[in-house]
Structure 1
């Protein structure tokens, strides 16, 4: 007998579990399907384990900055112990997620979901049915189709290394490449980052990206720009990475950090009229596909916002409302984005490049290195670009490069979303001295 529910959610990550829990709370019958690890990428092999590894990197960096300023010596990273700490968290995620779903009396299935030509959904061949379907299958690391691509490791492999190799190379200058290069270098590896042009992290302010690269270069990361890698060969002394113009680098581990691709190719979407491309499943502003009973949320959906875990939850909450009581199109708040390198790079709202196209905005370029907040930590460099609407006096965007950029960017996101002017901010009394008490100097 075919199992029938109100909604089937395909994908047991942050988007899918939030969706299932929200629908269940509204009285809907729900089945959630996962074919890999319950909990999805973020807690198992993404944001969370990365941040655990970065905790040791940050502590080491703080001690390094304060060496000679009240501290003696710089600690070394004990990679096996750090990895054991990470696994102490990640090992319990799949069972914890599944148990949480069962505690809510949400039906679960583990297997591959597939829409057949007749439109029916199967999970490992078993037919299941619903009124509506939600695709929340996320993304996976892409692998460049070059000769020897089988030698590529992925971010998943790196975040579960038993030991840190002596030489590690990252191919692709996006978030993942910069963040994992920071970790590998701090753990003692000789690190190269290869990028195919002169503009890594192209979504961020060019001047701040350049400053970040200079910082990482001083820490020992080597950037190989304008290298269009096309071959990996294994030889006695390691893996040789080459292009057509004389580049030849030998490494012990090569990680493909050239973006991610949507997990949709095994779902049979063409059989049910659902279109997708390299940016994900195509949806309208109600997160609905061309098939009116199939929706897509989270990293797998082609939406005009970054692929971030908080947005997965945001879209899930919206769609729960949409499936229980249809409403307005989805509207996104300003979304902060960050690169967890050392120092960190973060931005939100309008960029300085965008602001330069109009005389309506003023760009404040700030060197905060000698502000007390950074002096007490002996931070080597702290830079900011803040965009202010001259007529309203409101902050509409900002970019930060510092060791606390991730904290500052959230404060500024609140200033933008709540439309706080300088006068409004100064009506508050914030604890001093803290990064929050510095906010008034950004206007």
Structure 2
């Protein structure tokens, strides 16, 4: 049995759903398939549930910061099971709501593992589907680890479904997942340790601000062990014994839970891409600038599935999918615009980057004015009792335009959105300063930062 579609989307996350909706609205016959519940990583197993759990941690942290300043925090604590129930109140309805929404738009919703059987043929649960175009939007999966005992680790999906939080947690890897979850766990009463093999964690962020984040996290109970590799993990009863190598010196660390936070890779293994004559590598499907496969013109890819310059962020995946859909509909060759996209590590406080790092700006031949501010004593931080905060804005002296913005502080992820718009549309710092902001607000600090 075979069915035919104008477009078959593999992956029912935010990106795949966006492309399916766009093409269905244009009158195409569209189907979408996923082996997991509809909604994807961000809504179900990543960004959104993580931020709900972070809210509990924020409340604890905010109360502690105001201790002795009029607030008696007392025995304020997180009830993990109730917080998790609150999270499920958001995530549980998502799959059905998303599937219903797609069906209302005329999209055929399929369930099962998809694999190519030919350039335009995809097998799902025993049925072969023909498609004039196929979009691969399968996202990413935890990176395979290379030490004995890696099977004892849980991943981010498992962490976001924990019924209870154990007292000692080790996070493997110094990236987003480890830092965000460790900051939540510390405020929830656990003692988290981040083990990172690199010289410093969060390597894609400004080094000076990362140092401030590590220091602030240490004060909240988040320990970071850099230049440390895991050689093996053993289970000893209810405890996990983690064997470490610290620059040639062996060490042992015991934990009640070990969490994989050492990065993700494109989730392509089950697709049988060779049968579709689709080239791919470690970074995903090989695509041209307009997201079309370099070896099969009927296949497109977006998000973490595609080897593009875009950051592994849900908003990036969504606009890539929309661009891919537009190119399929119009036989176009439009490339996504990756300029001035903010990325944030939602620790407490958060760490944000937009645009270039200092060395990148100088390597590009720009003469930049580095405008650094220690904002820890500014009113917006004093008001909430926060003692950590800094910003570093890189301004091209020739144009007076911001080419890089690096922020560490409470509420700075929201401030980053204003900077992103300014960078994307070429506003100068003089133009930004000419705007009158609502005062006193964190946003009103922007004029002083630049």
Matching residue of 2:291 = 287
Query: Does the Cα contact within 8 Å between 2:323 and 2:335 map onto a contact in 1?
Result: no
Structure 2 residue 321 is the aligned partner of structure 1 residue 321:
no
Q: SS where residue 398 of structure 1 aligns?
A: strand
| TM-score scaled by length of structure 1 | 0.97
Deviation at 1:356, TM superposition (A): 4.2
How many residue pairs match? The answer is 443
Matching residue of 1:129 = 130
Deviation at 1:222, TM superposition (A): 1.6
Q: SS where residue 229 of structure 2 aligns?
A: coil
Q: Using the alignment, how far apart are the partners of 2:371 and 2:434 within structure 1?
A: 22
Q: Using the alignment, how far apart are the partners of 2:303 and 2:192 within structure 1?
A: 32
Question: More displaced, 62-71 or 169-178?
Answer: 62-71
Q: Using the alignment, how far apart are the partners of 1:220 and 1:340 within structure 2?
A: 16
Deviation at 1:410, TM superposition (A): 1.2
Q: Using the alignment, how far apart are the partners of 1:105 and 1:161 within structure 2?
A: 37
Q: SS where residue 243 of structure 1 aligns?
A: strand
Matching residue of 1:368 = 375
Q: SS where residue 89 of structure 1 aligns?
A: helix
Question: More displaced, 182-191 or 318-327?
Answer: 318-327
Q: Using the alignment, how far apart are the partners of 2:193 and 2:102 within structure 1?
A: 42
Residues 342-384 of structure 1: CA distance to partner in whole angstroms, max 9, x if unpaired?
1211010121232344461110111112221111112111101
Change (3 A) 1:363 1:177: same
Q: SS where residue 250 of structure 2 aligns?
A: coil
> Aligned Cα RMSD in Å?
1.5
Matching residue of 1:423 = 430
Residues 275-326 of structure 1: CA distance to partner in whole angstroms, max 9, x if unpaired?
2222211111010112100000112111112111111211122122111111
Query: Does the Cα contact within 8 Å between 1:352 and 1:385 map onto a contact in 2?
Result: no
Q: Using the alignment, how far apart are the partners of 1:220 and 1:429 within structure 2?
A: 39
Structure 2 residue 395 is the aligned partner of structure 1 residue 393:
no
Unaligned runs of 5+ in 2: none
Q: SS where residue 392 of structure 2 aligns?
A: strand
Residues 217-246 of structure 1: CA distance to partner in whole angstroms, max 9, x if unpaired?
111112122221121111136110003532
Query: Does the Cα contact within 8 Å between 1:321 and 1:327 map onto a contact in 2?
Result: no
Deviation at 1:212, TM superposition (A): 0.7
Q: SS where residue 348 of structure 1 aligns?
A: strand
**What pairs up with 1:236-275 in 2 under 5 angstroms?**
236=237, 238-244=239-245, 245-275=249-279
Residues 121-145 of structure 1: CA distance to partner in whole angstroms, max 9, x if unpaired?
1112211011110001001122413
Matching residue of 1:218 = 219
Deviation at 1:392, TM superposition (A): 1.5
Q: Using the alignment, how far apart are the partners of 1:237 and 1:264 within structure 2?
A: 35
